[in-house]
Amino acid sequence: MAVRGRGRAREVGEPNTTRQLGVRAFLFVILCLTSALPVALLGMSHASRLVKDRVEAVDKQLAASGQATADQITLMMLDSVHAAESFADEVAARRSLSFDALSSALRAHTAHHPHLIGAYVANARGDALIYRSVQSELAPGNGINYADRDYFKEVVKTQRAVISRALMGRFTHTWAINVVAPIHDEQEQFQGITCSSVDLRGISERARRAISALNDGRIVVLDADGRVLADSEDSENLERRDVSKMSLFAPASIGKPLLRLAVDERGRAMRGVAIGLGQPVEGWRVIALSPQATIDDQAAQVRWQALLLAVVLIFAMMGLSARIAAWLARPLQSLAASAAAVVVGEFRALPTPPKNAPREVTRLFHDLDRMIERLGAYTGELEQEVEARTSDLTRANQELRRAEQLIHEDIEQARRFQERMLPVVEPRGVDLATAYFPLERVSGDIFDVCELGDGRLRIFLADATGHGVQASLRTVALKSAYDRVKLLHQRPQELLFALNERLVADFPGGELLCASACLDLRFGQQRIDVDYVNAGAEPLYVFSAEAGARAVYTSGPLLGGSRVSYPEAKQFELLPGELLLVASDGLVEQMNARHERFEDRIGTLRLQGSASSFLSELMLAFHEFRGTTKVRDDITLIALKTS
């Protein structure tokens, strides 16, 4: 049941809350959403930031390591060039290229520059004059010629100090680079060269130290031709490694670290920083590298750590949310329990405010206490009032039942009275039957059959408007008026005229307006002559075993409407064996579900047996015809069958 009011329709009854969350669960969900979700989002954002920072840190470390290595190599090579030039000046100052003259200079040179793994002096034709390596003492040239060396040709051509490509030293038998300076005499004539060998393993060692802070880091130093001079991962076998065609090791700008992502000569994805070197080793570059896999592993580790921290925080927030939800829900649960108790009529279960509750909640509990107390008081008063009203209502119902019983008894008396008004006649030699079916307990129909003094039989049927008690009262007045005049007039039209005059005079408002029919029957030897006057009633029907049924009708004004005259009686005769049916409109006007009138069915009835059995058959046919359609009016039937 829905009660309408302002806003939505309110459903009355027990609400279906099986699918709804409890207040604690509801608050828990809300708090979790408002606390854990931001933590999760912040954790994801922070993890992303940490990963980015980690990659940037690797890039910075690569750049720093590479730059440090580049600076050290540049300084070392500048120092080596200066050393070679100083050594050449020292040789020139001795004005002799004899072994003895060169010995002290070479010894001092190698002693002052311990990073050199060897040095030699050659004349202008490239013949070695003296050499020294870290593994040996001073030794003569022994016919070794360096004129075929590119660096010798370069020095002869440029008359300036040069740095060779990496090559295998003929004295040192070591993969090294040579720093070569020309020897000029006082007339600036080219006398020969000094050559100092720098061990490339030393550069690799510097690179290894520079990159040691970076896990899996690698520094590769390449010359201008892209040949590997040093490698922090592998300082051996440098002579066979040419990586000049790999994009990772391409030339780089001087002083501008350049980030590169490419594959190294071993097929590993690397993240690197390339730094170009300046004079005196222009074209050299230092490539500081870190495997991308290592960086990815570190990033994943950072991400997992951040995620783990976020999960821990989320669980912590959920725990905190559960505690807060329980704390917040407690007052509401208490209030709900009190409301539920009030619903079942328990007004003594007053809610208790939780400890440390906010001021408004405590106030709410206090107010609710007062509300429940007042509600209990009102309910008590209401129950008393209902009890009193129920008692009054019970008394009223009893009085109504008594009154109804009285009315029922009155109507029953009226019904018996109305039945007593009906004639009990058994005219001699005539098969006469009547049937009387009030729609309610009393009828709006009335009829009379009386014998006139000259042997005639007079039949009168009237149907007052309406039915029930008010119609039955009209029949009493009508019957009374009829009884006064029924024997005073010889002809039926005179009788109806007189009756109408009386009714109009007594009831000028038309209260007794009714349809009626009056017939006088005169019995002969072989037939019955009928004088028939109609006052708005339904037709008569004459049934014959041989000829079927026929309607007999004459028109005339209703009784009790106004002062009118009635037409002459219609005369017809009944032959032996025929049956005359006089019926009120309740019979012929009855309809079925198809809105057909029983009037159209009457003609199909067959005459069988006595007048009484005919009426029984007629009513059977009537009820069969109407089916479930209600009977709509009182029914009165008068059947007269001639013998």
Partner 1 sequence: MTAVGIDPLSLENFSIAPTWDGSTLRIAFSGNADMDARAPLEAFVKRLNVQVLAAKLKRVVCDMRGLYFMNSACFKCLVQWIDAIVKSEVEQQYTLNFIKNPKMAWQARSLESLRHFGPAIVHIKIEP
Per-residue DSSP letter, 630: P
Which residue number, 235 or 636, has a Cβ lying nearer to partner 1? 636
Shortest Cβ 443–partner 1 spacing (Å): 13
Three-class secondary structure of residue 87 per DSSP: helix
Counted residue by residue, the chain has a size of: 643
CA 457 to CA 450: how far, in whole Å? 6
> Which amino acid, residue 110?
T
Per-residue DSSP letter, 536: B
Which residue number, 161 or 558, has a Cβ lying nearer to partner 1? 558
Query: The tokens of 410 are what?
Result: 């009155």
Look at residues 640, 626, 533, 539 and name the one whose alpha carbon lies nearest to residue 583: 539
Which residue number, 353 or 556, has a Cβ lying nearer to partner 1? 556
Shortest Cβ 510–partner 1 spacing (Å): 6
> Measured between alpha carbons, how far is residue 628 from residues 248, 590, 605 in Å?
104, 12, 21
Which residue number, 123 or 516, has a Cβ lying nearer to partner 1? 516
Shortest Cβ 536–partner 1 spacing (Å): 4
Shortest Cβ 509–partner 1 spacing (Å): 9
Shortest Cβ 450–partner 1 spacing (Å): 25
Question: b/e per residue, 338-363, with b = 16+ CB within 10 A?
Answer: beebbeeeebeeebebbeebeeebee
Which residue number, 110 or 516, has a Cβ lying nearer to partner 1? 516
Shortest Cβ 551–partner 1 spacing (Å): 9
Look at residues 319, 332, 340, 385 and name the one whose alpha carbon lies nearest to residue 361: 332
Which residue number, 86 or 629, has a Cβ lying nearer to partner 1? 629
Which residue number, 357 or 591, has a Cβ lying nearer to partner 1? 591
Residue 452 contacts residue 528 (beta carbons within 8 Å): no
> Which amino acid, residue 115?
H
Shortest Cβ 498–partner 1 spacing (Å): 17
Which residue number, 98 or 562, has a Cβ lying nearer to partner 1? 562
Which residue number, 331 or 557, has a Cβ lying nearer to partner 1? 557
Shortest Cβ 418–partner 1 spacing (Å): 18
CA 200 to CA 203: how far, in whole Å? 5
Three-class secondary structure of residue 563 per DSSP: coil
Shortest Cβ 530–partner 1 spacing (Å): 19
Can you list the pairs that 205-211 forms with residues at least 24 positions away whose Cβ atoms lie under 8 Å? 205/235, 206/69, 206/72, 206/73, 206/76, 206/230, 207/69, 207/231, 207/232, 207/286, 208/232, 208/235, 210/65, 210/66, 210/68, 210/69, 210/72, 211/65, 211/69, 211/288
Q: At what angle do helices 292-343 and 359-421 cross, to 10 degrees?
A: 50
CA-CA-CA-CA dihedral for 382, 383, 389, 391, to nearest 10:
-170
Q: Which residues bind partner 1 (CB under 8 A)?
A: 463-466, 510, 513-515, 535-536, 538-539, 553, 555-558, 561-562, 564, 585, 588-589, 591, 595, 597, 599, 632-633
Look at residues 602, 605, 608, 569 and name the one whose alpha carbon lies nearest to residue 587: 602
Which residue number, 286 or 558, has a Cβ lying nearer to partner 1? 558
Shortest Cβ 557–partner 1 spacing (Å): 3
